Homo-oligomer: A and B are copies of this chain.
Amino acid sequence: MSRIIRVGGAQLGALNLADTRDVAVERMIALLEQAAAEGCNLVVFPELALTTFFPRWNLETPEEVDRYFETDMPSPETQPLFDRAKELGIAFYLGYAEREIEGGQEHRFNTSVLVNGDGNIVGKYRKVHLPGHAEFDPKRAFQHLEKKYFEPGNLGFPVWKTMGGLFGMCICNDRRWPETYRVMGLQGVEMVLLGFNTPATNSQRPEEADDLRGFHHDLSVQAGAYQNGTWVVAVAKAGVEDGHKLLGGSTIVSPAGQIVAKSQTLDDELIVADCDLDECTFYKETVFDFARHRRIEHYGLITQQTGVVRPDAAE
């Protein structure tokens, strides 16, 4: 049986502070319909796809923060997206800011869901690697306050068996961390879905060459794909949001680590590729046959210590 998934990477252009959920959902539905016309089975939307990338702003009051978060998914505003996808029989990945009240405690996560072609949420992921900082930083060219607005994800990196394959999710900065892909690789993942919002400028090094940001994005995604023999679909929110430029470069990467589709704009844009999950097999059974080649007895530091401990030995 063929295991080819026709994937659409549904890049979104800018969403400004003034844009409501309705604007975002309307644009996502348009991309979804384009994907349907092109025969896609699965569409990947960006991280925090419903609003502007608000962690660049230092929001002061709970009310200011709350307006960017969803307490239900689907919500009234996103229900039309769920409905249309179900009608079209298209599965999708959607990133959003999640507010959860559990046992009287409020929790906030940077979250994504995987919705199957029947409209059911089959998986939820909460971003583990939050970049940036927790308090206003006057030294930065602009803020990146993800550690203020979100808790680190508490669901790990699950892999779901669905659509005839093994699917994982991660979000934005997770893609720079080889641990992200490896934990999913150890569960046999065949396709990793990820949305991102990446400022086009390094807030701590504004003089950095323009192309370095895109290079680091590609490098991380391509290495993660190759080193685990998996497809990776990485989809941006791109463009200039209220004067702040986000990187584009949405990309679909094969288990060989090669880019098979890439966005050409910073606007709403659909990239499409036929992704044969069976292409993973060669890598998983040869150079990255983990069972034969990994040596966990030498990996201890990876899970024993969080930060750097330098060797004491002097010359």
Interface residues, chain A, with chain B CB atoms under 8 Å away: 116, 122, 128-131, 152-153, 156-163, 166, 173, 176-179, 182-183, 185-188, 204-205, 212, 215-216, 219-220, 222-223, 226-227, 256-258, 282, 284, 286-296, 298-311, 313-315
Contacts and interface: CB of A to CB of B under 8 A. Distances in A.
A310 B294 CA distance: 17
A131 to B, nearest CB: 7
A253 to B, nearest CB: 11
A265 B266 CA distance: 40
A60 B287 CA distance: 25
Nearest to A156: B298
Given A116-B315, A311-B187, A287 B166 contact: no
Contacts of A178: 178-179, 182, 223, 227
A284 B204 CA distance: 13
A284 B311 contact: no
Given A220-B227, A227-B220, A179 B302 contact: yes
Highest count of chain B CB atoms <10 Å: which of A156, A293, A296: A293
13 contacts: A129-B294, A131-B293, A159-B311, A161-B311, A187-B309, A188-B308, A222-B223, A223-B223, A290-B306, A291-B307, A291-B308, A294-B306, A296-B304
Contacts of A223: 178, 219-220, 222-223, 227
| Most chain B Cβ neighbours within 10 Å, of A152, A222, A291, A306 | A306
A287 B223 CA distance: 17
B282 A205 contact: yes
Contact of A128 (B153, B161, B295): B295
Contacts of A185: 308
A15 B220 CA distance: 35
Contacts of A314: 161
A310 B187 contact: yes
Nearest to A256: B212
Contacts of A305: 186, 296
A306 B315 contact: no
A128 B157 CA distance: 27
